[in-house]
Amino acid sequence: MKKTHLFFVVFLFFTPFPKAQNVDNYELGVGLRFQKTEQLYWENGIGADFTSDFLLHKKIHLKLSYATSRIGSAFLSNAIRQDNYVIGADWRFRSNKDFQIFAGLNTGFFHADMETAQFNVLPHNSMLFSLETGLFYKFKFPLATSLSVGYNLINGDGLTVPGSLFPVFYQLSVFYYIGKK
């Protein structure tokens, strides 16, 4: 079931590419994402960033990411294994400059793997909906980095939403542009 949902999200994210490759000037960056939840875990993973002239002259960026504590705080420890599947859109201010400011909305799916039967009564899954803002810098070579802070509007109470879904998070992302015209 999860693979079907993930496939659907990836399919929707990559749908604009055929048009972009034939007609428009586009940019596709893939890279690493390092996320720190305030007073909790490090969650690391991968991400993608896409924009094109047909997205308001590269002012809108579509993004997709997967971050997990499995290769963060839970690596070789007893921390809760958490997975974040996120899709979002950012508005870039100064989109024609190397240094940009952005603000965006994200949505997705959160899963906490408690790994022990005694915790089966606790919630493990939640939808994600967050606001994010930050700084983005595009280098002269095909590399870019961003620093951001975000706020999960749906956060954990331990009764209906997993208690380890904290509201505030910070991210550092590094993208390598593999598709750029």
Work out whether the CA dihedral 72, 75, 79, 85 comes out positive or negative.
positive
Domains in the chain, number? 1
- Is 80 exceeded by the pLDDT of residue 15? no
Q: Work out the pLDDT band at 144, boundaries 50, 70, 90.
A: very high
- Is 90 exceeded by the pLDDT of residue 12? no
Q: Which domain, by its residues, includes 59?
A: 2-180
Q: What is the pTM of this model?
A: 0.81
The Cβ-side half-sphere exposure at 126, using a 13 Å CA radius, reads 25
CATH number at residue 100: 2.40.160.20
